[in-house]
A and B are shown apart, each in its own frame.
Chain A
Amino acid sequence: MLEIKNLSGSIVDSDIQILEDFSLTVKEGEVHAIMGPNGTGKSTLAKIIMGHYLYKVTSGDILLDGESILHLSVDERAKKGLFLCMQDPTVIEGVSNSEFLRTARSTISSEKVNLYSFIKEMETGMKEVGLDSSMLHRSLNQGFSGGEKKKNEILQMKFLKPRIIILDELDSGLDVDSLKIVCKNIKNYMKENKKASLLIITHYPRILEYLKPDYVHILKDGKIQKSGDLSLAFEIEKTGYTGIKDVSHE
């Protein structure tokens, strides 16, 4: 279970608070969505949970299974089961997709990964997410389209088997068909891993129609201002944030 308690955070070397007294609990198997206008701290939240070097926690805590993770390094958080599907996955020249994922898998599972079975498994996984198998040997994310990068993120999720998955605007850069494919893969993953939880950061309800969140939260001015079910996402689509009751509009 992931608990974010009264979390405030800012950019390193800046006093401007992006998150202020933010609290959220994500229990096993739950799907949460966070929506909000641009610049309200959605991606900051994702990066702070993962331990990004450009952000700092100024107060509050993040607990995983009741234990604080604030002192943990990024890789230690990943080993605890956190996974951030990035909004704009980084290009890494010279490191092949297969080499990277095989190293990551063996590090996370603490087991030696058999090359032959790994390649076979990866070919199957790539087919499932709609990636060409030639991308197996290409440099990580290099020359990939926006959609291919997002599919590659989901491929990594399937292979690394995390239990807290944060999707930071997965739907940006994905066409309708690709969005369906990645959502189908995420849903299958959630079915096979009943304890896994999802935290979806998005601007649009379409991805939520596929992934069916239990809760939808509106993040504004660094904190959650309103929570509801999927109908809240459709209300936002219809009226914009300015039309939502109980949300400040200063």
Chain B
Amino acid sequence: MSKTIYVFNRDEEKEYHYNITEDTVIYHFSINSGGKVDIHLVTEGVSLYYYYNNINYSEHTFMIDVVHDKSHTHSEVFNHGVNVGSDSLTYYVNGIVPKTSFKCICNQENQILNLKDGKSTIWPNLLIDNYDVDSNHGAYIGKFNEEKIFYMMSRGLSYEEANRLLLNGFLLNSDSIDLNQISDFVEEIEKI
């Protein structure tokens, strides 16, 4: 059983520090906010799942460092952002494994959807100083795939309805999220 943490920001720049000593899932929901997150996996064998879901209306930068201080640690970081307007949104995502940490898994997946002409940037960095590590990263900036929209519309959904379902799936990207904990965020999705 993992420890679960919910974090919610709206219109603020905040810093968070976590020392992970047991298997942990962090759901971080953010509306029009930036900030910095600094995470250390300080106990051997622990895992971290970090879901950052962000709705952006003005210029913001989000930075996250995940440091594998101990061996056999495992991190999976998912950063999903929706850049609603024309401003810039930037993610710096650093997975860090020092020389002294062996057999770690360090993965990150980053996506930003530009709904209009916003300027979005992702810096997906893997700073790996040990040969015995399994590590992957991915970054995508763009719009929803047209083939997905076509498929959904071919079953009768309007363009708007298809986009709404895709947005929900994109920003609430884990089956385990307790929606009661994030009602403000769910309401905000409806406003996009």
Contacts of B175 in A (CB 8 A): 137
> At the interface, yes or no: B153 with Cβ under 8 Å from chain A?
yes
Contacts of A103 in B (CB 8 A): 157, 161, 165
- Would you give the 0/1 interface string for B150-162, flagging 1 where the beta carbon is closer than 8 Å to chain A? 1111111111010
- Which residue of chain B has the shortest Cβ distance to A52 in the bound complex? B150
Among B156, B157, B175, residue most surrounded by chain A Cβ atoms (within 10 Å): B156
Partner of A92, one of B153, B154, B166, B173: B166
Residues of B contacting A: mostly? helix
Asked whether, in the complex, the Cβ of A90 is within 8 Å of the Cβ of B169, the reply is no
> At the interface, yes or no: A24 with Cβ under 8 Å from chain B?
no
- Would you give the 0/1 interface string for A83-94, flagging 1 where the beta carbon is closer than 8 Å to chain B? 110100110111
> At the interface, yes or no: B119 with Cβ under 8 Å from chain A?
no
Asked whether, in the complex, the Cβ of A95 is within 8 Å of the Cβ of B161, the reply is no
- Nearest chain A CB to B2's CB is how many angstroms away? 20
- Bound together, the chains give a CA A156 to CA B157 distance in angstroms of 13
Asked whether, in the complex, the Cβ of A100 is within 8 Å of the Cβ of B155, the reply is yes
Known A-B contacts A53-B146, A90-B148; the reply to A104 vs B166 at CB < 8 A is no
- Bound together, the chains give a CA A99 to CA B162 distance in angstroms of 12
Total contacting residues, chain B, CB less than 8 A: 23
- Which residue of chain B has the shortest Cβ distance to A91 in the bound complex? B148
Asked whether, in the complex, the Cβ of A104 is within 8 Å of the Cβ of B155, the reply is yes
Q: Which of A13-21, A71-79, A123-131 contacts B (4 or more CB under 8 A)?
A: A71-79
Total contacting residues, chain A, CB less than 8 A: 29
> At the interface, yes or no: A160 with Cβ under 8 Å from chain B?
yes
- Which residue of chain B has the shortest Cβ distance to A157 in the bound complex? B155
Among A53, A79, A83, A104, residue most surrounded by chain B Cβ atoms (within 10 Å): A104
Asked whether, in the complex, the Cβ of B159 is within 8 Å of the Cβ of A73, the reply is yes
State the total of A-B contacts with C-beta under 8 angstroms.
72
> At the interface, yes or no: A107 with Cβ under 8 Å from chain B?
yes
Known A-B contacts A92-B169, A99-B165; the reply to A75 vs B159 at CB < 8 A is yes
- Nearest chain B CB to A54's CB is how many angstroms away? 8
Partner of A94, one of B145, B152, B161, B173: B173
- Bound together, the chains give a CA A103 to CA B148 distance in angstroms of 15
> At the interface, yes or no: B55 with Cβ under 8 Å from chain A?
no
Q: Which residues of A contact B (CB under 8 A)?
A: 50, 52-53, 73-75, 77-79, 83-84, 86, 89-90, 92-95, 99-101, 103-104, 107-108, 137, 139, 156, 160
Instruction: List 12 additional A-B contacts (Cβ < 8 Å) besides A75-B156, A77-B154, A103-B157.
Output: A73-B159, A89-B151, A92-B152, A93-B169, A94-B172, A94-B173, A99-B165, A101-B155, A104-B156, A104-B157, A107-B156, A107-B157
Q: Which residues of B contact A (CB under 8 A)?
A: 145-148, 150-159, 161, 165-166, 168-170, 172-173, 175
